[in-house]
Amino acid sequence: MQLFAEYRNIFHNIAENGKIMLKEERLEYILKKLQTDHKVLQTELSTDLQVSEDTVRRDLDALALSGRLIKVRGGAIPHSPNPYNFNDRIVYHEADKKQIAAKALSFIQDGQTIIMDGGTSTLTLAKMLPPTLKATIITNCVPIAAQLIDHPNVELILTGGRVTKASQNAGGLDTIRMLQRIKADICFLGVCSLHEETGVSCVDFNDTEVKSVMVESAYKTIVLATSEKMGTAEPFKVCEITNIDTIITDKPELPSLKPYIDLGIQVI
Taking the C-alpha atoms of residue 25 and residue 3, their distance in angstroms, rounded to an integer, is: 16
* Alpha carbon distances (Å) from 43 to 4, 48, 138, 197, 238: 19, 9, 47, 18, 29
Q: Give tens-digit pLDDT for 80-119.
A: 666 556 555 665 678 899 999 999 999 999 999 999 999 8
The pLDDT score that the predictor gives to residue 13 is 46
Q: How far apart are the first and last CA of the chain?
A: 29
In whole angstroms, give the CA distance from residue 115 to residue 206. 17
CA dist., res. 103 & res. 108, Å (int): 10
What does the alpha-carbon distance between residue 139 and residue 122 come to, in Å, rounded to a whole number? 10
Domain ranges of the chain: 2-77, 86-267
- CB neighbour class for 76 (10 Å; exposed up to 12, middle 13-18, buried from 19): buried
Specify which residues 105 forms β-bridges with.
none
> Taking residues 19-32, what's their average pLDDT?
81
Please state the CATH superfamily assignment of the domain spanning residues 86-267 in this structure. Translation initiation factor eif-2b; domain 2 (3.40.50.10470)
pLDDT of residue 35: 75
CA distance 141 to 169: 4
pLDDT of residue 34: 80
Higher-pLDDT residue of 68, 243: 243
Q: What value does the mean pLDDT take over residues 58-63?
A: 87
Query: In whole angstroms, what is the distance from residue 33 CA to residue 44 CA?
Result: 11
What mean pLDDT, rounded, does the chain reach? 87
* Statement: 2-77 belongs to CATH 1.20.120: no
> Which tens digit of pLDDT belongs to each residue from 174-204?
999 999 999 999 999 988 889 888 899 988 8
* Closest by CA position to 138, among listed 163, 155, 125: 155
Over 90: is that where the pLDDT of 30 sits? Answer: no
Q: Which amino acid is at 208?
A: T
| pLDDT score for 167 | 86
Strand order in the sheet with 193-195: 193-195, 199-202, 236-239
The highest-confidence range among 19-33, 70-84, 149-163, by mean pLDDT, is: 149-163
Higher pLDDT, 264 or 60: 264
| Residues 120/85, Cβ–Cβ less than 8 Å | no
Per mean pLDDT, which range of 47-51, 84-88, 214-218, 243-247 is the poorest? Answer: 84-88
pLDDT bucket at 4, cuts 50 / 70 / 90: very low
Whether 259 contacts 192, CB under 8 Å = no
Write down the pLDDT at residue 84: 57
Q: Is 40 a residue whose pLDDT tops 90?
A: no
The predicted pLDDT at position 14 comes to: 46
* pLDDT-derived band at 10, boundaries 50, 70, 90: very low
Q: What's the confidence (pLDDT) of residue 147?
A: 96
What percent of the chain is predicted at pLDDT more than 70? 87
pLDDT at 135 over 90: yes
What confidence category does residue 218 fall into, taking pLDDT thresholds of 50, 70 and 90?
very high
- Per-residue confidence (pLDDT) for residue 186, from 0 to 100: 98
What is residue 170's three-state secondary structure?
Answer: strand
Name every residue whose Cβ is closer than 8 Å to that of residue 216 and which is 6 or more positions away in sequence.
180
Backbone angles phi, psi at 71, to 5 degrees: -75, 140
Q: Name the 3-class secondary structure at 117.
A: coil
pLDDT in tens, 202-214: 888 889 999 999 9
Classify strands 246-248 and 40-41 as parallel, antiparallel or unpaired.
Answer: unpaired
Topology alike, domains 2-77 and 86-267: no
